[in-house]
Structure 1
Amino acid sequence: MADQPVLWLPRKVSAATVARARQSYDVILNEADDVSSAEKIIEMSRQADAMMPCHSEIFSADVAAQLDPRLKILANHSVGVDHCDLAAIKAKGITVTNTPDVLSDATAEIAMLLMLGAARRAVEGDRIVRSGGWTVWSPSFMVGKQVSGARVGIVGMGRVGQAFAKKARGFDMEIHYYNRSRLPEAEEHEAIYHNTLESLLPQADFLSLHCPATPETRNLLNDDTLALLPKGTVVVNTARGALINEASLMKALNSGQVMAAGLDCFQVEPGGNPAFSGHDNIFMLPHIGSATTRTRDAMGFRALDNLDAFFAGRTPKDLL
């Protein structure tokens, strides 16, 4: 219908999301499902009233300054918004939303997978079996680090951090956490709060990162902070690649300070860090923390809920 708002979907979202979007919007699809350049984003702002970007679409201050006044809202198909210069976008009068809550469990599942896989040497074991190299067995073969009953440190006790803690309790883990503020006691479930990162790290036999990437948290794990961990810690990151200085992590892995790492995100995406590929003690996934059918539908629907509210003259639930 001619009077429907025009919505640009720059990446391929779930079929259910597209079908629902077409009920209320004149939808423009990116059939190629490729990453849009700054020029493409600016061009599409002249054609669309709304966009549903992912973290692959970069809205820098320079891009924001060139967005057409026609564009009224960015309904992000993500929780993290480090791909957006929020101040610059809002200065243009553009509303910004995200999709919290709906991907917490899926991302926490991947964190558990990475923690278990890194601790129990899954990459090495899989390679040995697939290559036909499994020809011997002994009590000293493929000995890893036990998760059950161990201490886990969680950096960032938001929705995903709390979902991960709930799953970790199923492994009888002792949970320590560092957060900008302490949770109410009823929400801690006996987790031990640390008011500084430096207090948390020496307690972490396992360390899982669940905080956003901000100027304050970039390179959160570096030479100095990694040195505070107990020798042989397993590090897990399902948040943002910018949280870890990858050169520092490599040094810690080579020295044995860190036994293994489970990584779903990297400083360079897509692609990751080629230097990691030769290390069996790094379990890697291609940023798929929220990649389940149920969660992708829920993320798309949450973004559409925000769009529907905006165009109905209401305040979107996930307004940033």
Structure 2
Amino acid sequence: MQILQIGRLSNDVNQHLERQYSACALWQQTQSGEFLQQSGADFELVVTSAAYGLNAAQIAALPNLRAVCSFGVGYDSIDVQALQQRGIALSNTPDVLTDCVADVAMGMLIDVSRGISAGDRYVRAGLWGSKQRFGMGSRVSGKKLGILGLGRIGLAIAERAQGFKMHIAYHNRHRVSALDYAYADTLQDLAAWADYLLVACPGGAATEHLVDAAVLQALGEHGFLINIARGSVVDEAALVQALAQNHIAGAALDVFEHEPNIPAALLQDERVVLTPHIGSATRETRMDMDALLLQNVAAFINKGQLLTPVS
């Protein structure tokens, strides 16, 4: 089975795919579009990632494509509808990154509340002991946490938040009957109730700008926004405006609408914690993600089935 690799992954994955399967590296082709038009029919399996994706034009140029194995949990950069129309299977690498993303979410929540990274900058700037005093933070323990998207990662965050005696509610497309957490019928209702609104839902057209000006207004002047999901879920312009008008207390963002480009207003705001999409970025998790990606490739080649198919 011929494999097409869309973009560069880890050295281990790149070398394994080349040695084991003689995979073709699309990123090494000087004219990738022309290459697909000429040779696209050769490939039955594509390896890609949430960063590189797979668009409708690429899928159309692969008439014999049977499966796509993607590195990462998100697949909003892959044209799922185009795959579904042709019955092409898709896998991602869920579960193995859940704990690390949930850890980062809680770390960012605490940071934006207590000013940990801001305090670090204050000390390094030599301001401790000066007339410029460091401001007060906001208590985390016992507060109300509203989670948008109570899937694997959202549940792991909720479990961690319980250790801080936080009260938890959530909003999904549908209520999850097996859960004891309170359910908000609308996202605006959840934001109005919460001290913290934490975004943990998938990206894509269905959730684009779900967190808009009205939701931020409902969150209120003492509320914080945390996003570890996808930048597209938050209307970034509305967030900048909400901060400028003190409609919310602050934000902690690991993802952005146009990564790696970040609005200057967010960069300059001390009430905003910014990290470079590091939710799953630990050595252990990335090794597990590599292994699961390659296991999906092997399972499809050997058995015609994926281990972690996207439903």
What TM-score comes out, normalization by structure 1 length?
0.86
1:25 and 2:18 aligned: no
What residue number does 1:110 align with? 104
Separation of aligned partners in 1, 2:236 and 2:31: 26
Separation of aligned partners in 2, 1:40 and 1:263: 38
| Greater helix content | 2
80, 88, 102: which one aligns with 1:86: 80
CA-CA distance at 1:76 after TM superposition: 0.6
1:237 and 2:231 aligned: no
Equivalent residue of 2:305, what SS? coil
1:121 and 2:118 aligned: no
Equivalent residue of 1:208, what SS? strand
On the 8 A contact 2:114/2:139 being kept in 1, the answer is yes
In structure 1, what residue type is equivalent to 2:204?
A: T
7, 11, 27: which one aligns with 1:10: 7
In structure 1, what residue type is equivalent to 2:121?
A: R
137, 140, 156: which one aligns with 1:144: 137
Separation of aligned partners in 1, 2:288 and 2:250: 33
In structure 1, what residue type is equivalent to 2:125?
A: S
For structure 1, the residue ranges without an aligned partner over 5 or more in a row are: none
On the 8 A contact 2:299/2:305 being kept in 1, the answer is yes
CA deviation map 1:33-70 (0-9, x unaligned): xxx997388478466543321122242323322x2335
In structure 2, what residue type is equivalent to 1:6?
A: I
1:171 and 2:171 aligned: no
What residue number does 1:50 align with? 45
1:228–1:30: structure 2 CA closer, same or farther, 3 Å change rule? same
Separation of aligned partners in 1, 2:299 and 2:307: 8
In structure 2, what residue type is equivalent to 1:101?
A: D
In structure 2, what residue type is equivalent to 1:175?
A: I
1:222 and 2:218 aligned: no
Deviates more, 1:253-262 or 1:233-242: 253-262
- In the alignment of these two chains, the number of paired residues is 309
Deviates more, 1:129-138 or 1:282-291: 129-138
What is the aligned-residue RMSD (CA, Å)? 2.8
What residue number does 2:57 align with? 62
In structure 1, what residue type is equivalent to 2:139?
A: Q
Separation of aligned partners in 1, 2:206 and 2:35: 28
What residue number does 2:259 align with? 269
CA deviation map 1:59-113 (0-9, x unaligned): 2323322x23354321010111110111213434533211111111111111112
Separation of aligned partners in 1, 2:35 and 2:50: 13
In structure 2, what residue type is equivalent to 1:179?
A: N
Separation of aligned partners in 1, 2:35 and 2:120: 42
In structure 2, what residue type is equivalent to 1:279?
A: D
Equivalent residue of 2:129, what SS? coil
What TM-score comes out, normalization by structure 2 length?
0.88
What residue number does 1:73 align with? 67
CA-CA distance at 1:6 after TM superposition: 3.5
Equivalent residue of 1:53, what SS? strand
Separation of aligned partners in 2, 1:178 and 1:232: 20
CA deviation map 1:219-262 (0-9, x unaligned): 11111111111321110000000111111111211222211111
On the 8 A contact 1:38/1:58 being kept in 2, the answer is no
For structure 2, the residue ranges without an aligned partner over 5 or more in a row are: none
